[in-house]
Structure 1
Amino acid sequence: MEPTSVRSLIRAMRGRDGHGVSGLGASGCGLERAAFHRHRDGVFPNDEQRAVVEAVRESLLVLSPMGTGKTRTAAAAVARAMTDGIAPEKILGLTFTNRAAEAMRRALAEALPEDSHRVALFNLHGLCARLLREECALAGLPPDFGILDEDESAELLWQFISRRDRSEKYDDDRRAALGAYEKFVFRFLTGEERGSVPDEFLMYRDAMYRDGTVDFTGLIARAWRVLRADRTARERWRTRFAWILVDEAQDINLAEYRVIALLGEKSRCVKMFGDTHQTIFEWRFAQPRQVIEAFAAEFSPRRLALKINYRCAPALVEASNALRRVHVPSREPFPEPGLLGVEGRIEMSSAEDSEQELRALVEKVEEWRRAGVALREIAVLARAKGFAPGEAKAEAGDLQVALSLLPGVSLRGRAVEEGSTIPVPGLTVGLSARRVEGPEPEDGMTTTGPDGTFLFDGLPAGSYDVALSDPSQRWVAKTVRRIPAGGKEVVIEVVRGLVLAGRAVAADGSPLDTTGLMVRTTGKDGNTHWENLGADGSFRREGLPPGRVTVTVGPMGWGEEGAVHAARTVAAEAGTTDLVVPLPRGKPIRGRLQFPPGVDPSEDAEVVVRPSRGGEEAWVEVGADGSFTTQALEVGVPQDLLATWEEKGLFGEAREVMPGVAGVVVRLEPGLAIAGRVLDPDGAPLAGAAVEAEGPSGAEEAWAESGADGGFV
C-alpha cells in the first residue's frame, strides 16, 4: 500500500564511534564555532575567503551559501578596509533583517573590539528611516513622522477598501491587501507597473500624508525619491559612505537595490553577499535575478564564491547538493563539504501513518540512548505546521517522546502540456493561502518533479492559490486560484511560451542612441516585463502566450538624463522574431510649478504629460522646489501637462506644449469642488461608497468616499 505520509525525515547521521546526531546547529552540538578552525588548510581565512577580504577597493558579487563563513568573512573584510585607510564611519553595512544585522554586529565586535560601534550598520528600512529623518523637508515629512508596522498599515488600508472588493479582490484578508499594495508600489517604482493606481491605494497614501506617517514600503520609496530628485541630498549621502557591504542580497528587490546603487555610485565600492539558492522572501517581492543583473551591469563587480561548508557534516552537504542539482538547476556552484570530523550517512524512511512514523522515531532515539548518546545531544526536527492540534505519546522501553499527531492535509498537483498528458518537469510552484482553518501558514515553494507532480504536505484545511512559473521561460506562467487542500490531485495545463524578438532603430536613419531606453512587453495574459535595450538596439522576450503583444520602446522612468529618442508603441504577434520599432527623435519639456501665495513648493504635487491629440500618458517626477523634467517626447507632437496636488485641492495645466521647450510654468490654483450624496435603491444614505470624478480631458481624476449620511465632497 502506498504510504499516506512520506516525509523522508533524516533519521541519523552516524559518526565514526557508531553514535548518531540528528541535527548540527549553532547551539545543538557546538560544532559550528569549532568548524571555523578545521578548514582544509587549518586556518581562517581559506583561499576563497582571503580573496574576498583582500579585494578592498573594488565591487564584489560574493556567492556565499549557508555555513561557508560568510558573516565572519564579511567582518574580516571590514577590518581589512579599515587597515587600508577607510574610516569606520565611512563603512556602511546593510542587512535585510534585524536578526542578520545583530549577527553581523556580533561578528564585527569580535573582529573589531574597539571600533565596531563606529561602523554604520543598518537593515534597509532602518537606513531609509535615518535618511528621511535627516532629509524630512525634502521628503515632505514632519521631523517626528511615525512609522507604521505591518498590522497598523493593513488596518489603515482596509478602511479604504469597499465591502465588495474586500471579498472579491482580497478574499477578506487584510494582509493580502497590504501585500498587493506593496507589490504595486515596488513595481511602479522600477517601471514594471504602468497601470492606473487603484483607488484604495491612493486613499491609503493620502491618509498617511495627512497623519504624517510612513509604512515600510514608503520608507524605501521616499528615500529613493529624495536621492533621485535632489542632487544636493544625493551627493551628501554618496559622500558619506566610501565602502558598502550588503548581506543577504538575494532577498532584496529592485527598488531596494536602487537605493543601494545611488549610495554607491560615487565610491564604486559595493560588496554584495548572497546565495540565490537561499531566496526565501520571494513572497515579499525579492528579485534576486534582476538585482544581480542590474548590479553586474552598473558596477561590473568581480564574482567570487565561498564554496566550502564548515557547518554541516559532509554527508548532509552532499545529499543537499544532490537534491538541488535535480530540483533547482543552477549555473552557480554548490557548497563543498569541509572537514568537520563527523563522517556518516543519512538514513531515509517512510511510514504508513503518523503513529508508525512516531514509533519508528522513538525506537531510533532509544537505540542511540542505549549506545551512550545523552538525550540532550539529540535533536528531533519536524515541520510544526505539518501537524494539526493534538498530542499522543509513544513508549519505547522507559523512554517517552511526545509529539503532535494528526497530520494536516496535502495539496497534490501535476503540470502537463496543454491538451495532453505530457508532464512538465522543472517548473517553480508557489503556494499561498486564500482561506484556511486556523492560523495562516507561510507561503510555500517547490518544483515539479520528472513526472510533473508537486506536493505541499501538512497544510491546514482550506483553499490555496498555486502559481506555476518557469525559470527558463520556456513555459507561460499560470496561476490557479482557490484550490481546496485535501482533495484530488489537481491537473494544471501549461502552454509552451513563444518568443518575441526584434530591434529598435532611429526613425530618421541616424545611429541609434540607446541611452536611457528600455523595452516593455505586455502579453495577452496581461503580464508586463521590462528590460534594458541591448547596446545594438536588440530585445528579446520569452515565455509569451500565443496572441497579441504590445511592445513599447522608449526612455526609462521620468526625465531620464541624456535620452534623445522618444517612446514608440507597436503591436505584434507572439512568435515574431524580426520586429523593427522605429524611434522618433525626442526632447524633454522642462519647467516648474507655480504655487499659490503662502503655499511652499512640494514634490507631493504630481504632473502627467500626454499627447494633446490622445495617446499614452506618463508621470513626471516633481522636485522639492517644484521643478520637473519630462522624459524625451516626440519632436513636433504637442503635449498637455496636467498638474495636481490633491491634498491641497490644487490644479493646473499647460496645453499644446512642444517638446524641447524649457521654462514652462504651470500655475496651480484651487480647483472646484463637487458635493453630493449617495443613496441606495430605497433612498437611504449609503456609507462607504467610492465616488470617482473625472475631468473633461479624462486625465484629471479625484476620488472620495461617502460618509455615514451618504455625503461626499
Structure 2
Amino acid sequence: VLAGAGTGKTRVLTTRIAHILSLGRVRPGQILAVTFTNKAAREMKSRIGELIGGAVEGMPWLGTFHAICARILRHHAELVGLKPGFTILDTDDQIRLIKQLLEAEGIDEKRWPARQLAAVIDGWKNRGLLPDRVPGGEAYAFGNGRGGELYAQYQTRLKELNAVDFGDLLLECLRLFRENTDVLRDYQKRFVYMLVDEYQDTNVAQYLWLRLLAQDGGNICCVGDDDQSIYGWRGAEVGNILRFERDFPGARVIRLEQNYRSTGHILAAASGLISHNAGRLGKTLHTRDSDGEKVVLQGCWDDEEEARVIGEDIEQLHRKGHALNEMAILVRASFQMRAFEDRFITLGLPYRVIGGPRFYERQEIRDATAYLEVTVNPANDLKFERIINTPRRGLGDATLKALHELARAEAIPLTQAARMIIETEELRPKPRKALSDLMAHFDRWRSLIDAMPHTELAEIILDESGYTAHWQNDKSPKAQSRLDNLKELVRVMEDYDSLAGFLEHVSLVMDRDSDEAEDKVNL
C-alpha cells in the first residue's frame, strides 16, 4: 500500500487487522504486525480495540522489530549461544565495552574513537553482516585495518556477558532462522498474516528477516511511502519499497492519494518540492479540503532577528486567543534553539523543548537500573562496573583493575572474579570487606526475586545499597528531583509482571516525557 502523507496509512493497517479478526480467519496470535516505535504499537492496539470493541487481548506479535525479535530470541536463546535471561545493552554500555576492547588491543582511542567503531559495527549489523561476512575493504577501514577483527572480538565479549546490543536483536534472529530451518518453518506457519508499517524505513537486516518469514507464500501487507524515507543515514533502504513487486511476485500495489490532513496550498507546495526527487514510484496527492492560507516564506537578517519576529507573532496570536500548545517551531538542529530560548525567557513566554533528556537516560535512573540488572543477570559486567563504587564504598580503580585482570585471565564475569578475590589476600582489608558486603547484598537480593513483589525488592535494593541515602545526603539543588525520579521509577514498575519484564521494557523503550497539562510553545 503506497500511502502518501496524511492519507490514513495507519488506519489501513488497523482496519485490516480488525477485519481479519472480526471474520475469525485466524487467532490473534497468528498475526504479525510490525511497527517502528512503541508509541505506534500502542496506538495500533488501541485503535484495533475501538474497531472490534473491547481491549485487544492475545496479540503478542504486535510490536516493534526489536521487541518482536527479543521475544523470539528469549524462546531460542541457546541456539544462538545465549541464555534466555540475556541483557540488552544501551549505547552507553556499548561504548564502554568497545573502549575496554580498544584499550586491551593498545589502540589509541583519541585517534580511533569508540563511538566511531560503534557506528561502523551498527552499520554492518543493519546490513545483516556477521563478522565473517564483512567485505575486506570495509573491515580495514578502522584501527589501521583492524575493524573486522575488533567486531569479532566485540561479538565474543557480548556472548561472554550474556548480552546483545540493539543491532544483535535482528542479526541474531536472522542467524537463528538461517541456521535452524525447523524454527523458521514454525514461525512461517504461525504467522498467517504479516503487516508492516513504515516499510520505507526498513534496513537490510529487517528486510531479510521479513523475506525469510514471507518466502513460503505468506500473506504480507506492507504500508509505506517512498517520499517519506528520511532515515538513510541510519541504514534505512528506500530500495526495499521500490522493488517490492519484484521481491514478492504477484503482489498488488494500491495507492492512497487522498490527503485528509493538509490544505490545498500546503499539499501543492510539498508535492512541488518532492517531485524533484529521483527514484520515486510516484503518486499524485489531492485533497477535498479548502486551499487554506498560503505558505509564507520570510527572510531574516540573523537568528536574533528571526527569534524576535517569531516571538512577536506568537504573542500576537496568543492575544487573539490561540493556545500556546497549538504553536510549534521546528528547527534543523538543536543549536538553533538557543536564540529562541533566550528570546522566550526575555518575553516570559513558557515553552517546552521536545527531545530533552529522556527519563531512562538520567544518571540516577541508569544507576538504579544497573543495580536491578546485576541482581537479575550477574554476568552483566558493564552494569556491575557502573555501580561497584556508586555510592562510594572504597572500591576504586585499583580494585577494579585487579578484578578485570582476574576476570580476563579466568574468562569469567566480574562478579565471579569478585567472589574469588575476596577469598584471597590480594586486596587490602578495607576494600575486601566492602566488596564482600556488596556481593552478599547481591546474593540476598537475588534470593528474593521470586519471594516478594518486584517493586518492594527494588525499594530494598535502593535502600540497602545506600543509593537512596546517597541522594538524601546530597545538598545540591538537583538532589530532590533525583529522589523524585527514583520514586517514579519504582512506581512505574507496578505496570510490569516481573523485574526481568520491566528491565526489558527499559532496554527497548525510551519514551520521551511529555508535559501535556501546561500551555507552552513547542520548540
Q: Check whether TM > 0.5.
A: yes
Letter in 1 for 2:327: A
Cα deviation 1:42-76 (Å, max 9, x = unaligned): xxxxxxxxxxxxxxxxxxxx112331111111111
> Partner of 1:136 in structure 2?
77
Whether the aligned pair in 1 keeps the contact of 2:259 and 2:287 (CA below 8 Å) is yes
Whether the aligned pair in 1 keeps the contact of 2:255 and 2:283 (CA below 8 Å) is no
> Partner of 2:43 in structure 1?
103
Cα deviation 1:363-421 (Å, max 9, x = unaligned): 43455456x4434475141316242646544899xx865889xxxxxxxxxxxxxxxxx
> Partner of 2:115 in structure 1?
175
Would the alpha carbon gap of residues 263 and 349 (structure 1) be closer, same or farther in structure 2, given more than 3 Å must change? same
> Partner of 1:355 in structure 2?
304
Task: Report how far residue 154 of structure 1 moved.
Answer: 2.2
> Partner of 1:261 in structure 2?
211
> Partner of 2:478 in structure 1?
none
Would the alpha carbon gap of residues 253 and 388 (structure 1) be closer, same or farther in structure 2, given more than 3 Å must change? closer
Please state whether the residue corresponding to 2:101 is helix, strand or coil. Answer: coil
Cα deviation 1:616-666 (Å, max 9, x = unaligned): xxxxxxxxxxxxxxxxxxxxxxxxxxxxxxxxxxxxxxxxxxxxxxxxxxx
- Which of 384, 387, 395 is 2:336 aligned to? 387
Letter in 2 for 1:281: Y
Q: Distance in 1 between matches of 2:80 and 2:190?
A: 19
Alignment of 1:308 with 2:258, yes or no, is yes
The aligned runs of 1:652-663 (5 Å cut-off) are none
The aligned runs of 1:127-166 (5 Å cut-off) are 127-162=68-103, 164-166=107-109
Whether the aligned pair in 2 keeps the contact of 1:244 and 1:269 (CA below 8 Å) is yes
Whether the aligned pair in 1 keeps the contact of 2:127 and 2:235 (CA below 8 Å) is no
Task: Report how far residue 284 of structure 1 moved.
Answer: 2.0
Q: Distance in 1 between matches of 2:262 and 2:220?
A: 30
Alignment of 1:81 with 2:20, yes or no, is yes
Letter in 1 for 2:302: D
Q: Distance in 2 between matches of 1:203 and 1:395?
A: 50
Letter in 1 for 2:162: G
Please state which structure has a larger fraction of its residues in strand.
Answer: 1
Whether the aligned pair in 1 keeps the contact of 2:226 and 2:280 (CA below 8 Å) is no
Query: Sequence identity, in percent?
Result: 26
Cα deviation 1:563-586 (Å, max 9, x = unaligned): xxxxxxxxxxxxxxxxxxxxxxxx
Alignment of 1:374 with 2:322, yes or no, is yes
Q: Distance in 2 between matches of 1:325 and 1:153?
A: 41
TM-score (norm 1): 0.44
- Which of 244, 252, 267 is 2:202 aligned to? 252
Letter in 1 for 2:51: A
Please state which structure has a larger fraction of its residues in helix.
Answer: 2
Letter in 2 for 1:385: S
Q: Distance in 2 between matches of 1:159 and 1:394?
A: 44
> Partner of 1:113 in structure 2?
53
Would the alpha carbon gap of residues 351 and 288 (structure 1) be closer, same or farther in structure 2, given more than 3 Å must change? same
Whether the aligned pair in 2 keeps the contact of 1:90 and 1:243 (CA below 8 Å) is yes
Whether the aligned pair in 2 keeps the contact of 1:309 and 1:338 (CA below 8 Å) is yes
Task: Report how far residue 157 of structure 1 moved.
Answer: 1.9
Q: Distance in 2 between matches of 1:90 and 1:394?
A: 52
Alignment of 1:225 with 2:165, yes or no, is no
Q: Distance in 2 between matches of 1:130 and 1:369?
A: 48
Whether the aligned pair in 2 keeps the contact of 1:158 and 1:177 (CA below 8 Å) is no
The aligned runs of 1:514-533 (5 Å cut-off) are none
Task: Report how far residue 151 of structure 1 moved.
Answer: 2.0
Alignment of 1:210 with 2:160, yes or no, is yes
Whether the aligned pair in 1 keeps the contact of 2:46 and 2:56 (CA below 8 Å) is no
Letter in 2 for 1:208: L
Letter in 2 for 1:68: T
Please state whether the residue corresponding to 2:292 is helix, strand or coil. Answer: coil
Would the alpha carbon gap of residues 281 and 369 (structure 1) be closer, same or farther in structure 2, given more than 3 Å must change? closer
Unmatched runs of 5 consecutive residues or more in structure 1: 1-61, 405-438, 441-686, 689-713
Q: Distance in 2 between matches of 1:101 and 1:260?
A: 18
Whether the aligned pair in 2 keeps the contact of 1:90 and 1:242 (CA below 8 Å) is yes
Please state whether the residue corresponding to 1:347 is helix, strand or coil. Answer: coil
Bigger RCO (CA 8 Å, 6+ sep): 2
Whether the aligned pair in 2 keeps the contact of 1:92 and 1:243 (CA below 8 Å) is yes
- Which of 280, 291, 295 is 1:346 aligned to? 295
Q: Distance in 2 between matches of 1:362 and 1:115?
A: 44
Whether the aligned pair in 1 keeps the contact of 2:94 and 2:165 (CA below 8 Å) is yes
- Which of 65, 76, 83 is 1:124 aligned to? 65
> Partner of 1:331 in structure 2?
280
Whether the aligned pair in 2 keeps the contact of 1:306 and 1:335 (CA below 8 Å) is no
The aligned runs of 1:545-560 (5 Å cut-off) are none
Whether the aligned pair in 2 keeps the contact of 1:241 and 1:267 (CA below 8 Å) is no
Please state whether the residue corresponding to 1:266 is helix, strand or coil. Answer: coil
Answer with 1 or 2: which has the greater Rg: 1
Task: Report how far residue 106 of structure 1 moved.
Answer: 2.2
Would the alpha carbon gap of residues 231 and 392 (structure 1) be closer, same or farther in structure 2, given more than 3 Å must change? closer
Task: Report how far residue 270 of structure 1 moved.
Answer: 0.6
Q: Distance in 1 between matches of 2:16 and 2:292?
A: 32
Please state whether the residue corresponding to 1:274 is helix, strand or coil. Answer: coil
> Partner of 1:66 in structure 2?
5
Please state whether the residue corresponding to 1:270 is helix, strand or coil. Answer: strand
Q: Distance in 2 between matches of 1:324 and 1:277?
A: 7
TM-score (norm 2): 0.58
Alignment of 1:234 with 2:174, yes or no, is no
> Partner of 1:282 in structure 2?
232
Letter in 2 for 1:116: V
Task: Report how far residue 358 of structure 1 moved.
Answer: 2.9
Whether the aligned pair in 2 keeps the contact of 1:312 and 1:337 (CA below 8 Å) is no
Cα deviation 1:135-165 (Å, max 9, x = unaligned): 1232222122222122222221221125645
Task: Report how far residue 336 of structure 1 moved.
Answer: 2.2
Q: Distance in 1 between matches of 2:345 and 2:163?
A: 56
Letter in 1 for 2:86: F
Count of matched residue pairs: 340
Letter in 2 for 1:333: G
Letter in 2 for 1:345: K
Shifted more, 307-316 versus 355-364: the winner is 355-364
Would the alpha carbon gap of residues 129 and 380 (structure 1) be closer, same or farther in structure 2, given more than 3 Å must change? closer
> Partner of 2:466 in structure 1?
none
Would the alpha carbon gap of residues 296 and 95 (structure 1) be closer, same or farther in structure 2, given more than 3 Å must change? farther
Task: Report how far residue 123 of structure 1 moved.
Answer: 0.8
Alignment of 1:184 with 2:124, yes or no, is yes
Alignment of 1:90 with 2:40, yes or no, is no
